[in-house]
A and B are shown apart, each in its own frame.
Chain A
Amino acid sequence: MKKNATRIGIILVLVLLIAGAATLGAQGQKGEAEGPITLTVWNFKYAEEIGGKAFREMDRLFMEQNPGIIIDHQAQPESNYYQLLISAFSAKSDLDVFLTHTDQRAWGISESYYLLDDQIKDVMDTYADSALEACSETKSKDSGIKILPLTAQGNGFYYNKTLLKQAGLDPEVVPSDWNTFLNACEKLKNAGITPIIYGNQGSPFGICFTYRTILGTLLSSDEIDGFTDGSTTFKRDEYVQATRMIKELFDKGYVNVENSSIPYFMDGITDFQAGKGAFFCGLNSDIAHWKDFGTALGYENVGYFSAPVASNAKYPLAQVNQGAGIGFAVADHSPHKEAAAKYVKFMTSGEAGKVFMDATGAIVPNSTIPVDASNPMLTDILEKMNSHATPDIMNRVPGGMITDYYNFMTLYFISGEISESRYIDQVEAIYRSNL
């Protein structure tokens, strides 16, 4: 009886060990089988209706031209995307290509991104220099490229000309000068029109995007770059000034009262599209952009300016330009790096890039994709992005500070619970602790 118990126990342990080993072995075997290569692609935009449809079409084109490669495109949630990526990198799980932003969230884990330099020599000159710099680990257009750009991105203010007209304003006068902007907000408010639509629930993007545009006009490119290594501080007068400018908008009642209860994506955007407010700090590409608003309100009824410009702004024409907003990268542990590199090149240029641009209105920074020059608003934005580009502060600060930074934005601008000095001190402390 006792011997039987011992035997049963030993068998149980052995079964457990064999099952574990078999599972690990099976994982190790994956990808080594002969036949067509399957590339697993992760994408936080794949579940979107328009974007997803475009990606499916782009994949179809790629597989048609590359019969030996199968694309397994998987939608992933954007809210936890980088956490999922870290887990995939750590576990070296099935992941070959992934969509990524080009900010510090990416550069914080870029050792797991495959260096594309050798794979893209033949097409380097087709990408915009600013886009390649944004996609380079060394911020060089010639080397250190770990992402291929799918969109060029920036921020700016869109305005509803019809509502301005209703408030007795001349819609053809661009209200970018700070005093003109405030005057327009006051008149709109008096006419019963909400001057500014912000979406600040969860992440206060309304406030954050406004900061980006204003700081672009107050700080030089080098000063903004200085946020990467701590050589620029949040205690600078320019940051204090931008803070006061945004606070003034809140204090004077120019911001939609429900701003802290509606998320920027998509409620803020749809409110502006529905004509519920006159100004909206949007994006230049991809979403919340010229096409979204032009289609909803009529292109002739939408105006655009890069930023509200203070009278002492040193760079009044500055247009925030991230170089690249999102792009495709290859996982360093992928067993199919060459095929994966081929795929990311295909997706960010030529026929596939055009499919994405036409579907979403994104600005794809690749010369093989002709940009529609017939749209005056797009032409204006492109001219600003090309001629007056300045870096985006949020692409420079450490990715780890963003959540806490947003929490204190809410506490200062919306709850009004802390003083300006405490807010600035706290932001600086958060920044330093994440450097």
Chain B
Amino acid sequence: MKRTRFRMTQDAKDALVLLSPLLVLTGVFLVFPVASNFYYSLTKWKGLGTPVFIGLENYRQLFQDTRFYSSLKSLGTLVLYIPLGVFLPLVIANILRTGLHGWKAYRALLYLPNIIGPVILGTIFSVILSQVGPITEILKSLGYANANEFYMLGKSTSAINTLSFLFVVWMRVGFGCIYFLAAMSTIDESLYDAAKIDGTNKFQDFIHITIPGIRFSIEFFTVLAFIEVFARMYGMIFTLTGGGPGYATYTLEFGVYMLSFSAYQKGYASAWAVILFFFCAIIALVQIRLIRKGEQS
């Protein structure tokens, strides 16, 4: 029998050698932690000492844990805000594109939340929305005697909705505007001129030219919003609500942190992280497909 011998070309060898530093770094700082997380999810371990292998016990516990289902519910609410979080900057960008007096100042103001960052914003809003904050004081000055009861972060429903609006919509408006404005600048102006000759109004231009023209950018921005919701919310949750009241603003990511660093249950937290990993993997796959689609088109 004839054996086929695998031989690398010199180009392939060179490429491999040149890529090897990056591969080593990726392996050490990305692949190994992810792989070891899968292993730790099958152990009882608090971050110190030797992990004890317990099979799928952590997953059994996870699927019986109220916090897990509360996290999914919170994520569901957050995801529901994504359409608004995409649509609002899109509309504002369109208004800015078509010309608005002093629009550069608006753009700077809108971008401000992105500069400040979620941790500081969470802290600021925990003060603004508190029972002794400016909103309460304004309501009191308007004669609303029970202004102290108007506490957005004190009730489950209002807390998760406040968090969702702040993080998914308000905080991302600035970046969204800049992003969509950049995308809109790539649309050929002659299309708008031709439409004007046909007698279209601004709304029709927006629906029939602008949106189709930046469709890829809108899809990509939506995927980014999903990533932010699933994997980048911890800072704001920690400073704004601490996951409460109850588990109202708990998310998978927040749960991973709390279980790992507050409850010393790193093995169990790893099981949460595995679930989060699968959610993120799905989002990443969608993102990759979109990028490929964008390249093809």
A residues with a Cβ closer than 8 A to B are 2, 5-6, 8-10, 12-13, 16, 80, 82-83, 86, 89-90, 108-109, 111-112, 201-202, 257-258, 260-262, 399-404, 406-408, 410-411, 414-415, 417-418, 426, 429, 433-434
Nearest CB of B to A425, in Å: 10
Binary contact track B156-179/A, C-beta < 8 Å → 1, others 0: 100000000000000000000000
Nearest CB of B to A414, in Å: 6
Nearest CB of B to A271, in Å: 10
- Neighbour of B244 across the interface among A10, A112, A411, CB < 8 A: A411
B61 proximity list for chain A (CB < 8 A): 433
CB<8 Å pairs between A and B, sample of 13: A9-B21, A111-B48, A201-B130, A257-B148, A261-B151, A399-B263, A400-B265, A402-B262, A403-B242, A407-B242, A410-B246, A411-B245, A415-B245
A10 proximity list for chain B (CB < 8 A): 17
Cα separation A2 to B16 with both chains bound (whole Å): 12
Query: Is the beta-carbon distance between A109 and B131 smaller than 8 angstroms?
Result: no
Q: Does B154 contact A (CB under 8 A)?
A: yes
Q: Does B26 contact A (CB under 8 A)?
A: no
Query: Is the beta-carbon distance between B133 and A261 smaller than 8 angstroms?
Result: yes
Given contacts A5-B17, A6-B13, A13-B21, whether A403 and B262 have CB atoms under 8 Å apart is: yes
Going nearest first, the 3 A-B pairs with the smallest beta carbon separation are: A400-B263, A9-B17, A261-B130
B244 proximity list for chain A (CB < 8 A): 406-407, 410-411
Cα separation A415 to B243 with both chains bound (whole Å): 14
Query: Is the beta-carbon distance between B132 and A258 smaller than 8 angstroms?
Result: yes
Nearest CB of A to B213, in Å: 42
Given contacts A261-B151, A403-B258, whether A108 and B130 have CB atoms under 8 Å apart is: no
B190 proximity list for chain A (CB < 8 A): none
Given contacts A108-B264, A399-B264, whether A9 and B246 have CB atoms under 8 Å apart is: no
Classify the secondary structure of A's interface with B: helix
Query: Is the beta-carbon distance between B48 and A2 smaller than 8 angstroms?
Result: no
Count B interface residues, CB 8 Å.
41
Query: Is the beta-carbon distance between A90 and B47 smaller than 8 angstroms?
Result: yes
Binary contact track B215-246/A, C-beta < 8 Å → 1, others 0: 00000000000000000000000000011111
- Neighbour of A260 across the interface among B14, B20, B151, B156, CB < 8 A: B151
Cα separation A415 to B149 with both chains bound (whole Å): 10
Query: Is the beta-carbon distance between A404 and B49 smaller than 8 angstroms?
Result: no
Q: Which residue of A lies closest to B259 (CB)?
A: A400
Extra A-B contacts (18), CB below 8 Å, given A86-B261, A404-B258:
A9-B17, A13-B17, A83-B261, A89-B48, A109-B47, A201-B130, A260-B131, A261-B131, A261-B133, A400-B265, A406-B244, A407-B246, A407-B247, A410-B245, A410-B246, A414-B154, A417-B156, A433-B65
A83 proximity list for chain B (CB < 8 A): 261-262
Given contacts A257-B148, A417-B245, A429-B66, whether A86 and B18 have CB atoms under 8 Å apart is: no
